[in-house]
Amino acid sequence: MEPAAYATILFLSFLFLFSLLGHRHRKINGENKRMQRLPPSPPAIPVLGHLHLLGKPIHAALARLAERYGPVFSLRLGSREAVVVSSAACARECFTEHDVCFANRPRFPSLLLVSFGGATLPMCGYGPYWRNLRRVATVQLLSAHRVNCMLPTISGEVRAMARRMYRSAVAAPGGAARVELKRRLFEVSLSALMETIARTKTSRAEGEADADTDMSPEAQELMKALDVFIPLLSAANMWDYLPVLRWLDVFGVRRKILAAVRARDAFLRRLIDAERRRLDDGEESEKKSMIGVLLSLQKSEPEVYTDTTIMALCSSMFSGGAETTATAAEWAMSLLLNHPEALTKARSEIDASVGTSRLLGADDVPRLGYLRCILSETLRLYPVVPTLIPHESTADCAVGGCHVPGGTMLLVNVYAIHRDPEAWADPAAFRPERFEGGGADGLFMMPFGMGRRKCPGEALALRTLGLVLGTLIQCFDWGTVGGAGEVDMAEGVGITLPRAVPLEAMCRPRQCMVGVLREL
């Protein structure tokens, strides 16, 4: 018998067995459930439950189900119960009244493989370990003071990006370079984080500009690993819900994740070992890196600040800081290419406020109101984590008048909430002007989450996004490749919201900025 046929027969046998067990479980618990008002639910099929309804991208599939079943509905995903929230009122309820109840995380097998067994800040369970990790992250890296200290580093990396793009354009035929923006943007974010987290820089050689070397080896290494993780960590990944798929690993999910994990961990170990050697050699600095601070804490509390904990915290900072910032900036540029009038308006604002005799700086961004409106509208339309990282209830509670049992996974469809036609006029349209003059005050947005598990890097992300996007607008004229029509806005799949196809655009230095760019 062929191996594929054998695997199919074995898979169907397991499905039949789980169907019988699931029927017995539902029969035993059915009477109790009928006594409670549970959220509405679509018809389910044996074993799979509602997994067959989770099309990709998952936020779009969940939004379609919400149109039929309401702002709170339940799903059975294999052996796991889930509730989906798609309204601002119910999301507020989850993260205010029931914030502690929903502060935990489900232990997905794929996330455990990626997160050092659930040790990273976004994925760890709620409790003392999370509180300590959160405190270290917010105090040592993401406090207002530390973000302000990082701004010169970020500004330097943005200047280096502008310099490389200028040189690429000058060397290209016709004075315009074709650039894949996600790679450039990822490099900027990663380089700034490396200097802050590990007191080191990427090993890029100045002058590298062609398509194969537009990223440093470190950025390519980490981005390659994240490109494996992100599609496999979606809440729609059947591998997490059906044990038989994990036992057989028919699709090679475990093999792919572990290979990417090894590459990422090798990158992190090199940074930690280099910083440990510097400290052992007596190299001191007025401003310790985050790794340096953690290694100092390790000496006094080795059982708390283990190497795994340090790697987990660094991994959270790199993946959350570099990937999400680059993704948001890529969506912003995609929208501006499709709406040149908004790009022109933003450029006029920058020219009026900053001028063309110097490069835009971090201190200029707070004065650029329309630029901030563009960022707000981008995060409304394309929240970086469209269903948030899943939460899990630790006790029974009620959401939207419906009973939610303890141990239920919570998915909050931020994408649908941000496009609710009852709250937003013409919700699918890109209109930065809706945020001008406080026009959107009181309207609900949560691109960075809400409650105690909210992303602690919001301030850093917004400051970096403003500086990067403002510099791209100030320094370069932008166009589509080959003068094509509108940029395709198709969405990719994964725990974050990548573009289906990376954005490529034509970049030409603005004539009035050539003198500034030449001196960078």
Q: What is the pLDDT of residue 250?
A: 66
pLDDT band with cut points at 50, 70 and 90 for residue 284: low
Mean pLDDT of the chain: 88
Task: Write down the residue that tokens 């009620």 correspond to.
Answer: 398
Mean pLDDT throughout 51-59? 91
Q: Rounded to the nearest 5°, which phi and psi values hold at 274? A: -65, -40
Tell me how far apart the alpha carbons of residues 158 and 192 are, in angstroms, rounded to a whole number.
Answer: 9
pLDDT digits (tens, 9 = 90+) for 481-493: 987 789 999 999 8
Q: What is the pLDDT of residue 7?
A: 47
273's CB contacts (< 8 A; 6+ apart) are none
Beta bridge partners of residue 480, listed in sequence order: 505
201 pLDDT higher than 80: no
Nearest to 204 by CA among 216, 193, 192: 216
360's CB contacts (< 8 A; 6+ apart) are 350, 354, 467, 470, 471, 474
Nearest to 462 by CA among 150, 16, 228, 47: 150
pLDDT digits (tens, 9 = 90+) for 319-355: 888 889 999 999 999 999 999 999 999 999 999 999 9
Identify the three-state secondary structure at position 153: helix
pLDDT digits (tens, 9 = 90+) for 81-120: 999 999 999 999 999 999 999 999 999 999 999 999 999 9
Tell me how far apart the alpha carbons of residues 212 and 220 are, in angstroms, rounded to a whole number.
Answer: 10
From its phi and psi, is residue 125 left (phi > 0), alpha (psi between -120 and 50) or beta? beta
Mean pLDDT throughout 40-57? 92
Nearest to 111 by CA among 294, 235, 290, 222: 235
Is the backbone peptide bond immediately before 57 cis, with ω within 30 degrees of 0? yes
Full 3-state SS string of 418-449? HCCCCCCCCCCCCCHHHHHHHCCCCCCCCCCC
Tell me how far apart the alpha carbons of residues 318 and 270 are, in angstroms, rounded to a whole number.
Answer: 14
Q: What is the pLDDT of residue 247?
A: 81
pLDDT band with cut points at 50, 70 and 90 for residue 431: very high
Torsion of CA 151, 326, 496, 196, to 10 degrees: -40
466 pLDDT higher than 80: yes
Task: Write down the residue that tokens 């680059």 correspond to.
Answer: 326
20 pLDDT higher than 80: no
Tell me how far apart the alpha carbons of residues 459 and 321 are, in angstroms, rounded to a whole number.
Answer: 11
Tell me how far apart the alpha carbons of residues 61 and 63 are, in angstroms, rounded to a whole number.
Answer: 5
Provide CATH code, domain 36-518.
1.10.630.10
Nearest to 328 by CA among 216, 195, 458, 431: 458
Cβ–Cβ under 8 Å, residues 182 and 330? yes
What are 286's two structure tokens? 């007025």
From its phi and psi, is residue 78 left (phi > 0), alpha (psi between -120 and 50) or beta? left
What are 379's two structure tokens? 């995060």
Mean pLDDT throughout 55-74? 95
Q: What is the pLDDT of residue 213?
A: 54
Identify the three-state secondary structure at position 49: strand
| Residue 455 assigned to a binding site | yes
The helix, strand and coil proportions of the chain, stated in percent and rounded to the nearest 5, come to 55, 10, 35
Strand ranges, E, within 29-122: 72-77, 80-85
- Domain positions in the chain are 1-35, 36-518
Which of residues 18 and 379 earns the better pLDDT score?
379
Q: What is the pLDDT of residue 279?
A: 85
pLDDT digits (tens, 9 = 90+) for 406-425: 999 999 999 999 999 999 99
Q: What is the pLDDT of residue 14?
A: 53
DSSP state of 77: E
Q: Which amino acid is at 28?
A: I
C-alpha separations of 437 from 280, 433, 434, 440 in Å: 54, 9, 8, 8
pLDDT band with cut points at 50, 70 and 90 for residue 233: confident
Q: What is the pLDDT of residue 11?
A: 53
Q: Which amino acid is at 304?
A: V
What are 4's two structure tokens? 């594929």
Q: What is the pLDDT of residue 26?
A: 47
